[in-house]
Structure 1
Amino acid sequence: MKKIFLIAMTMMLAFPSLPLAASSGEAGDYSAKDEVVYAKLSPEGKQHELYIVNSFEIKKAGSITDYGNYSNLKNLTDTSEIKKNGDKISFDAPDGRFYYQGNLDNQPLPWNFQFSYSLDGKKMNVKEMLGKDGKLTIRIKTSPNEEADVVFFENYLLQISFTLDSDIYKHIKADDGIIANAGKNKQVNFTVLPGKEGDFTLEAEVADFEFAGIEISAVPSTMAIDFPETEEMTKDMESLADAIESVNEGVSQFQDGVSQLNSGVSELKNGSSQYKDGISQLGQSSAGLVKASESIQHSLKTMEKSMQDSNSPALDEIDALFDGLYKLADGLYETKDQIAALREGYVSAYETMNDVMETLPSAPISEESVQSLLNSNADKEVIQQLLDAYKNAVTAKAVYHQLQEGFLTVDGALKALSESVNAMGDQVKEMAQEVSASLNNTEIEESLSKLQDGIGAIASHYAAFHDGLVSYTDGVKQLSRAYDDVHSGISGLSEGTNNLETGASELHQGTNELHKSTMHLPEEMQEEIDRMMEEYDSSDFEPVSFVSKKNNEKINSVQFVIKTESVTKEEAETEIAEKKEEKGFWERLLDLFR
C-alpha cells in the first residue's frame, strides 16, 4: 500500500493537470458496504496492527458518510480527500466501486490467539529456533475475546493455515487438521466451528528451520445446511429398538423358565434329602434287622436242638415253646410293618425326585445360541454362570437316568422282603396253632414229633431267608454310600440353578433397562439431528459492521484476514541491513523507479 501511495504522489507531482474526483457537493448514496479486516500478529499471537479496507458500491455519486474511530485514513480509489470529524468519515465518491483504508489502534479482534513453539521438547521463541534442526511442536489455541462483540465468535468460521516448505519440514503430523500438497509445499489447515474454542497441535521434523507464519481467515458461516434424509436411518433405529424389545421379552421368558427350573431343582433337593435320609436309615437299621434275624435263627436252632435232646419235655417247657413261637410270629409281623413303612417313605421320596428330574432340560444348548448370548450386551460372567448351571442340569438328568433302574430295584426288593417276612410269620403262627390243637386231640408224643419236624423245617427255611437278608442289607449299604455322591451332585445343581436364577434376574433387569432407554431411540435420534443441524445452520445471520454499529444498515459482508509475522533468514538479513542504512524520503521515492 505504501508503494501505491508513493506512486500516486509522484504522478501528481509529475502531472499536475491529472484530474481528481469530482466534488459536486451533493449527497451521494451507496447500495452496500463490505469490510475486510486485516490484522498482523506476533508469532505468539499478540495483536500488533489492525486496519480495515472499506468497499462501497456507489449507486449515486456524491458525498458519502461512514463511521469509525480510525487513527489514520487512506483513499485507495483516487486522490480526493477523506475527512474525519470524531467518528464521522466523509468523502466524495464517483459511481462504481470506492475503497478506502482506515487504521484502528485500540480495536480488539473477536478471538484470542495463543501460539507456542517447542523444539525437541524445549519451549522456545520462534526467532531462537531459526536455522536449527529437531522435532518441532506448535500448539494452537483460540478462545473468545470478551472485549469484542461476541457476534463474530458465535457466527464466524475460523480457517487456520500453515504453508510448510517440504525441504525444511518432514514427517508432518496434524491429528485434527488436513494436510494437502501445494506445489513443493505442504498446506496444513485447521478449522474452528462457530461458537467453539480451538486447541490443535502440529508436529514435524525440521532442518535449518524457517517459518513463513500462520494465516487465519474468518468468514461468516452463512451457508444453509440441507437436512439429510434420515428416514432410512430412523427405520434402522426402529428395527434395532424392536429387536432389543424382542430380546428383552425372550430374556423375560428365559427368566421365568429358570425360576421354574430352580423351584423344581429345590424340590428335587428336598426330595433327594428325604430319600438320602430314608436309605441311610434303612442302611443303619439293616444291622439291627440282621441281628434280630440272627437271634431268631439262633432261637430256632436252639429250639430244634432242645426238642431233639428231650424225648419228653415237661409241660412248662412246652408252654414256653408255644409262647416263643407266638412271640417269634409277632416279631416277624412287626419287622414286616417296619419294612412296609420304609418302603412307603422310599416310594414317596423317589416319586418326588423323579417328577422334579423330568422337569430338567435334557438337550444341550446349541453353539449358535451360546454365541448369540455371548455377543449380547449382557454381563459375560453372568452368562457363563447360566451356561454352567444349564450344563450341570443336563448332566444331573443323564446320571439320574443311568441310576433309575437301581432306584426301581430297591422298591421291588423292599416289597419282596416284606412279603417274605410276613409269610414267615404266618408259617410260625400257623405251626404253633396246629401243634397246639393237635396236643389237645392226640397224644403228646405224636404232636411233639410233628412240632419237632415243623421247627426243623422252619429253621432250615429260615437259614436261607437269613442269608438272603444279609445279602439284601449289604446291597442297601452300598446303595446308601453311592447315593451320597448323587445327593452331593443334586445339592451342587441346586446351588447352580439358584445362581442361575439370580443371574437371569440381573440379565432381565439389564435388558429391560436397555429396552426402556432405546424404545424412543428413533424419535430421540431425529430430535438430536434436528438440534445439531439448527445449531450449525447460520443461514439467517445478518452481518454487522466490525468498525461501528452506525454502519450496520447497509453492511453486506465482513471478513477477517489475519497473519502472524514470518521468521526467515532473508527477513533477518534485510532487518540487519535496514538498521545499517536508513535512506531519506526522496531517495526511497526514487528507488521505486530504479
Structure 2
Amino acid sequence: MNKKRIIAGVLAASVMIGNMAMTGTSVYASTPSNGQKEEVVYIMTDANGKADTVDVVNIFGKGDIMDYGNYSSVKMLTAADTITQNGDTITFSTNKDKVYYQGTMNDAQIPWNISITYILDGKVRSAEELAGQSGALKIQIQITENTKCSNDFFNNYALQAALTLDTKRCKNITADGATLANAGADKQISYTILPGKGLDAVITAEVADFEMDAIAINGIKLNLNIEIDDAELMGKVTEIMDASAKLNDGAATLSDGTAKLNDAGGNLSSGADLLYDATSTLNSGISSLSQGARTMQEGLDTLNAKSSTLTSGSTQIKEALATMQSSLADVSVSTEQLKQLTDSSSAISQGISDLYDGAVTLQTNLSYEAYRGAMNQNGLNIDDLKYGNSAAITTLSEQMAGLQALLNDIQTAYPQYAEDETLAAQAAQLEAQITSLSEIAGLLNGNNAAIGGTETYLNTVSSGVDSLVSGLLDLKDKYETYDAAIVALANTLSGLAVNMSSLKNGIEQLVTNYAAFDSGITEYTNGTAAIAAGYSELVDGVSTLAAGSKELLEGTGTLKQGTSDLYDGMISLGDGAADLNDGTSEFYEKTSDMDTQVEESIEEMIASISGDETETVSFVSDKNKNVKSVQFVIKTSAIEKEEAVIAEDTTTTKLNFWQKLLHLFGK
C-alpha cells in the first residue's frame, strides 16, 4: 500500500478543516451556478456540548430563488432584496452574483451527539464552577452518532475538533491521539475524526485560574481521491501464505519421518528382545554344560583318589556321563543361529547410527540462536526489545524516584497535608502516578523475564538434546565394540560347535561302551590320574565360556532396556510432531485466503474515507435537490470568569456581512 499518498490526502483534509477551526468561519466555495446552493450550518452549544442554537447560512447565485427549510425566522445577510417565507418555502430574487441568507432552526437534530465533561481534582464541575479554579483538570470529549438525525451525515462527513489552552494557565498538558501545536503562548489541540467514527478523548493538565476559549468542531464531506498501490503489501501477504504452506509441508514431512522412525525403533526394540532371549537360552545351555563338566571332574578326582572304591566311583562316573550327555543335548549352536545373531547385532548397530544422525540434525535446529534468528526474520529483534525494555524501566524508575521525592517534599513540608483538599489531591495523584509507573515497570520486567525464560528453556532443551547426542554417540561407539565382540563370539562358537559335536559323539560312545570299560577297570584305573589332569583343562575352558556368556546376557539385558527407553522417547517425539502438524495445518487453513481478506479490508478502509459514491444532500430539507456542499461549524461556549458589568452603549451600529457572521458566535 502506498502510505505516502494516503497520508498526504488525509493531511490535506485536516489542513482544510483546521483552517475552519482556526478562523471560526466557513471556507466558502467559488460562486455557484444559478439555482445551485451551498449550506453552512452554524451550531452554538453550551460548554458541555449541548446544542443551543442552529443557524444555517444559505448561499445562492443571482436569479429567482426558491429554497426550502423549517426555519423559525429568515433574513438576508448580503443584500437588501426582499425575502419571503411561506411555511417551509423561502423565495427571493437577486441580481447579485452571490447572495447569503440566514435561517434559524428550532429543535433541529444535528448529526452528532457531543458530550464534554470537566473533572477537577477528581470531581465533575460545571463550566461556571470551573472558571477561575486551579488543580488537576481532566476534560473528556465524546462524539457519537445522533440516530435521531434523519440524514446519514455521520457516516459521510469528517470532523476536526480543536481547542486552545493558555500555557500560562495550563501546565503538563497531555492529549493522547491528538495533534498538538504551539501558537505563541497557546497550545492548540486538534483531533481528526473520519466518517463513521466517533471520538472518545481525554485531555489532562495542571491548571491555575482556569479559563478556556470555545471548542470548535467543524465538519465537511470527506472526498479524498486516494490511490492505493498494494503490490508490496500483497507481495508480503503472498510470502506469508507461501511460508505457511512450506511450514505445513515441513511439519507433515517431520510427522511422516517420525512415524517411520517409530517403526524403525519398534523393529530395533523387537530385535533387542529377540537377541536377549537367544542370549538367555545360550547362557542356560552353557551353564548346564559347565555344571556337567564340573561334575565329571569331581567324579574323575574321586575315582583317582579312591581306587579301592572303584565300583562306587564307577557308578558315579556313569551318572556323571548321563548328566553330561543330557546337558550336551540341550546345547545346540547352529551356523544359522550364529548368522542370525550377527545380522541382528549389525541391524541394531545401524539403527543406533541412524538415531545418532537424526539427533545431530535436531541439535542443529533446536537452539535459542535459531529461535532468535527466526524472530528477527519476522521483524522482531529480541535483543533490541530487551534493551528497549531495560531503558524504559530505567526511565520509569527515574520518574518514580522524582515523583516520590516530590511526594516526600509535600509530606515533609506540610505534615497536615491530608487536611488540605488540594494538597491531599495532589499527593493522591502523585501516589497514583507512582503506582501506575510501577505497574508499567513491572510489565516491562515481566516481558524481559518472559524473554529470559524462553532463552533459558530453549538452552535447557538444547542442553538436553546435547546430552541425548552425547549419549547416543557413546551408545554408538560402545555398541560398535559390542558388535565386534558378537562377531568374534560367533566365530568362536562356530568352532566350538564343531568340537561340541565331536564331544557329544564321544560322550555317547563313552556311555555305550562303559560296560566294556568297566570290565577293564583295573587297566583304566592306572590311567585315571592322567585323564583327570587333562580333563581339568576342559573344565577351565567351559568355566571361562560360562563367565563370558553371563556377561553377554547382562549386556543384552542393558541393551534391551536402553532400546525400550529409546523407543518410548521416539513415541513421544512422534506425538509432538503430530501435534505440530495439526497446528500448522490449522494455521495454513486460516491463512489460505489471507490475500482476499487483506484486499477486502483495504476496500472497506477506502470506502470509509472516500465520498465519491454519495450524493450531497441538504441538512435543512429533503426538498432541496441541487445542493453543492454542506458544511458544519460547531462552537461551544467559552469558560470565562465573570467580569464587572459595564453599562451598555445603546447606540445602534449597522453591521456589515462579516460582522453579522461573527455576531452569530457572540463576537
TM-score, normalised with respect to structure 1: 0.79
Written as runs of structure 1 = structure 2, the 5 A alignment for 1:130-279 is 130-226=131-227, 228-279=228-279
Offset, 1:431 = 5.6
Offset, 1:534 = 2.9
How many angstroms apart in 1 are the aligned matches of 2:547 and 2:324?
25
Amino acid at match of 1:568: E
Counterpart for residue 24 of structure 1? none
Task: Select the residue among 518, 537, 547 that pairs with 1:464.
Answer: 537
Amino acid at match of 1:70: Y
Counterpart for residue 548 of structure 1? 621
How many angstroms apart in 2 are the aligned matches of 1:335 and 1:455?
28
Counterpart for residue 432 of structure 2? none
SS in 1 for 2:98: strand
SS in 1 for 2:197: coil
Offset, 1:548 = 1.4
Higher radius of gyration, 1 or 2: 1
Offset, 1:141 = 1.2
How many angstroms apart in 2 are the aligned matches of 1:270 and 1:388?
27
Counterpart for residue 126 of structure 1? 127
Counterpart for residue 48 of structure 2? 44
Task: Select the residue among 333, 337, 350 that pairs with 2:332.
Answer: 337
**2:68 corresponds to 1:67:** yes
How many angstroms apart in 2 are the aligned matches of 1:438 and 1:286?
28
CA contact (8 A) 2:55 2:105 kept: yes
Aligned residues: 538
Task: Select the residue among 624, 630, 633 that pairs with 1:558.
Answer: 630
How many angstroms apart in 1 are the aligned matches of 2:363 and 2:480?
30
Offset, 1:278 = 4.5
How many angstroms apart in 2 are the aligned matches of 1:92 and 1:388?
94
The change in CA–CA distance for 1:454 and 1:163 in structure 2 (over 3 A counts) is farther
How many angstroms apart in 2 are the aligned matches of 1:454 and 1:251?
79
Residue-by-residue CA offset, 1:208-242 (whole Å, 9 max, x unaligned): 2212131100100123222x112233223223322
How many angstroms apart in 2 are the aligned matches of 1:321 and 1:73?
145
Counterpart for residue 351 of structure 2? 356
SS in 1 for 2:213: coil
SS in 2 for 1:530: helix
The change in CA–CA distance for 1:400 and 1:455 in structure 2 (over 3 A counts) is farther
Of all paired residues, the percent bearing the same amino acid is: 27
CA contact (8 A) 1:218 1:559 kept: yes
Counterpart for residue 577 of structure 1? 645
CA contact (8 A) 2:163 2:215 kept: yes
SS in 2 for 1:95: coil
CA contact (8 A) 1:37 1:52 kept: yes
Counterpart for residue 365 of structure 1? 361
CA contact (8 A) 1:46 1:113 kept: yes
CA contact (8 A) 1:360 1:394 kept: no
Amino acid at match of 1:52: V
How many angstroms apart in 2 are the aligned matches of 1:114 and 1:67?
30
Residue-by-residue CA offset, 1:534-592 (whole Å, 9 max, x unaligned): 3432123321111112222x2111100001111123xx21xx516xx5x4xx7343799
The change in CA–CA distance for 1:432 and 1:368 in structure 2 (over 3 A counts) is closer
How many angstroms apart in 2 are the aligned matches of 1:369 and 1:156?
55
How many angstroms apart in 2 are the aligned matches of 1:422 and 1:368?
55
SS in 2 for 1:516: helix
**2:409 corresponds to 1:405:** no
Counterpart for residue 305 of structure 2? 305
Amino acid at match of 2:332: D
Amino acid at match of 1:549: D
Counterpart for residue 89 of structure 2? 88
Offset, 1:263 = 1.4
More displaced stretch, 187-196 vs 498-507: 187-196
The change in CA–CA distance for 1:385 and 1:317 in structure 2 (over 3 A counts) is closer
How many angstroms apart in 1 are the aligned matches of 2:281 and 2:175?
83
The change in CA–CA distance for 1:407 and 1:65 in structure 2 (over 3 A counts) is closer
Counterpart for residue 108 of structure 1? 109
How many angstroms apart in 2 are the aligned matches of 1:501 and 1:384?
21
Amino acid at match of 1:41: T
How many angstroms apart in 1 are the aligned matches of 2:336 and 2:293?
19
How many angstroms apart in 1 are the aligned matches of 2:77 and 2:273?
107
TM-score, normalised with respect to structure 2: 0.71
The change in CA–CA distance for 1:339 and 1:150 in structure 2 (over 3 A counts) is same
Task: Select the residue among 468, 472, 497 that pairs with 1:392.
Answer: 468
How many angstroms apart in 1 are the aligned matches of 2:458 and 2:572?
9
Offset, 1:349 = 5.3
How many angstroms apart in 2 are the aligned matches of 1:486 and 1:74?
107
Task: Select the residue among 628, 640, 647 that pairs with 1:568.
Answer: 640
SS in 2 for 1:405: helix
CA contact (8 A) 1:110 1:152 kept: yes
CA contact (8 A) 2:115 2:142 kept: yes
More displaced stretch, 102-111 vs 118-127: 118-127
How many angstroms apart in 1 are the aligned matches of 2:565 and 2:374?
28
Offset, 1:345 = 7.7
More displaced stretch, 499-508 vs 230-239: 230-239
CA contact (8 A) 2:356 2:472 kept: no
Offset, 1:188 = 1.2
The change in CA–CA distance for 1:87 and 1:106 in structure 2 (over 3 A counts) is same
How many angstroms apart in 2 are the aligned matches of 1:249 and 1:415?
51
Residue-by-residue CA offset, 1:220-272 (whole Å, 9 max, x unaligned): 0123222x112233223223322322232222222221111111112222222
How many angstroms apart in 2 are the aligned matches of 1:82 and 1:265?
100
Amino acid at match of 1:369: N
How many angstroms apart in 2 are the aligned matches of 1:196 and 1:158?
9
How many angstroms apart in 1 are the aligned matches of 2:122 and 2:352?
72
The change in CA–CA distance for 1:328 and 1:49 in structure 2 (over 3 A counts) is closer
Amino acid at match of 1:364: V
The change in CA–CA distance for 1:179 and 1:53 in structure 2 (over 3 A counts) is same
Offset, 1:273 = 3.0
Offset, 1:418 = 4.7
CA contact (8 A) 2:73 2:104 kept: yes
Counterpart for residue 390 of structure 2? none
CA contact (8 A) 2:71 2:105 kept: yes
More displaced stretch, 102-111 vs 335-344: 335-344
How many angstroms apart in 1 are the aligned matches of 2:471 and 2:40?
83
Residue-by-residue CA offset, 1:146-165 (whole Å, 9 max, x unaligned): 22123211211011111121
Residue-by-residue CA offset, 1:324-355 (whole Å, 9 max, x unaligned): 57525623532532799986885575355345
Offset, 1:77 = 1.2
How many angstroms apart in 1 are the aligned matches of 2:496 and 2:471?
34
CA contact (8 A) 2:349 2:479 kept: no
CA contact (8 A) 1:283 1:477 kept: yes
How many angstroms apart in 2 are the aligned matches of 1:156 and 1:431?
120
Task: Select the residue among 308, 322, 326 that pairs with 1:327.
Answer: 322
SS in 1 for 2:243: helix
CA contact (8 A) 2:333 2:493 kept: no
CA contact (8 A) 1:130 1:210 kept: yes
CA contact (8 A) 1:119 1:135 kept: yes
Offset, 1:196 = 2.1
CA contact (8 A) 1:251 1:507 kept: yes
Counterpart for residue 77 of structure 2? 76
Counterpart for residue 579 of structure 2? 506
Offset, 1:473 = 3.0
Task: Select the residue among 573, 585, 589 that pairs with 2:652.
Answer: 589
RMSD of aligned C-alpha atoms? 3.7
Residue-by-residue CA offset, 1:375-414 (whole Å, 9 max, x unaligned): 6699x99999899679737733641431332354353465
Residue-by-residue CA offset, 1:451-504 (whole Å, 9 max, x unaligned): 335544443233223233333433444444455444433222212111111111
How many angstroms apart in 2 are the aligned matches of 1:210 and 1:368?
68
